[in-house]
C-alpha cells in the first residue's frame, strides 16, 4: 500500500497527561489502524502557517497558485455564494427574531 503525505489541519484528542511539544514531528494513524509518518509538525494551537512580515499566510497563497485560473475563479465563486447564503440566513433570522419580540 502506498501513502501520500498530506498536510491537513485537524483536531486530535490526546489522552490525559500527554503533551506534544511545539515543532515535534507527529504520526498519523490511518483508518486501517496503521501508523504512518506524516512529515508534518505540531506548532501549537496558535500557529497560523508560514507568514510574511505583514502576517499574510503564505501557505494559502502557494496552495491557490497551484490551481488553474479557472479553478481559482470557481473556488472564489463558491465562497461568494456561501457568503451570500450566510447573509440571507442572518437577515431572515433577524426578521424572525423581530417578529417574535413584538
**Do both 40 and 76 map to the same domain?**
no
- Domain region containing 97: 49-102
How many other C-beta atoms lie within 10 A of the C-beta of residue 42? 14
Specify the number of domains making up the chain. 2
Mean pLDDT by 10 residues, the chain (102 residues): 51 59 53 48 60 83 92 95 95 89 71
**Do both 42 and 69 map to the same domain?**
no
pTM: 0.45
**Do both 54 and 19 map to the same domain?**
no
**Do both 16 and 55 map to the same domain?**
no
Amino acid at each position: 500500500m502506498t501513502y501520500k503525505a498530506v498536510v491537513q489541519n485537524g483536531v486530535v484528542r490526546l489522552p490525559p497527561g500527554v503533551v506534544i511539544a511545539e515543532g515535534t514531528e507527529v504520526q498519523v494513524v490511518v483508518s486501517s489502524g496503521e501508523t504512518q509518518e506524516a512529515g508534518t509538525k505540531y506548532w501549537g494551537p496558535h500557529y497560523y502557517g508560514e507568514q510574511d512580515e505583514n502576517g499574510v499566510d503564505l501557505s494559502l497563497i502557494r496552495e491557490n497558485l497551484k490551481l488553474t485560473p479557472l479553478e481559482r475563479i470557481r473556488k472564489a465563486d463558491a465562497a461568494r455564494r456561501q457568503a451570500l447564503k450566510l447573509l440571507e440566513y442572518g437577515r431572515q433570522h433577524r426578521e424572525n427574531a423581530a417578529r417574535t419580540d413584538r
